[in-house]
Amino acid sequence: MGMVDVSEKPVVRRKAEASGKIYLASRTMDLIRDGKIKKGDPFPVAELAAMNAAKLTHLLIPHCHQIPLDTVNVTFHMEPDFVEAACFVSAQARTGVEMEALVGVSIALNTVWDMVKYLEKDPKGQYPATKITDVMVIKKEKSSK
């Protein structure tokens, strides 16, 4: 078993977008909205973490090819009890970029958790309500040329 040989596949434009949610306590959501998180605004930090993670996917997932990405775009949307993150990735490559999008959004959500974990812990140091859910590929495309 080895890495799949993609050398005979044509280089084409490939795009993928993944999304996911992190559920947080209302107090945490309020503090994010008010800009009062001790470590700073979680979204720019999570955006940078996601961009780095997407670019390093081949180091994290053994069978992924190293793909030079043309763009990684991360967005955040706040609802009353969760933050939804989305990661869009594009490249001209021989293989798809959906794993890069999934890794990017996963790391974005984990970074948000890391920045607010002091608010989410219960008296025993556990996270009874905090959860990351619905991580999925929402779109994958490849051009014909």
Residues annotated as catalytic are: 114
Chain centre distance of CA 115: 15
- As a whole number of angstroms, the distance between CA 58 and CA 90 comes to 15
| Residue 71 φ then ψ, to 5° | -155, 150
Which element (helix H / strand E) includes 98? Answer: helix 98-120
Strand runs (DSSP E) across 79-130, as ranges?
A: 82-93
Residues constituting the chain: 145
Burial zone of 144 (CB within 10 Å; 0-12 exposed, 13-18 middle, 19+ buried): exposed
Question: Could you tell me if 129 and 25 are in contact, meaning their C-beta atoms sit under 8 angstroms apart?
Answer: yes
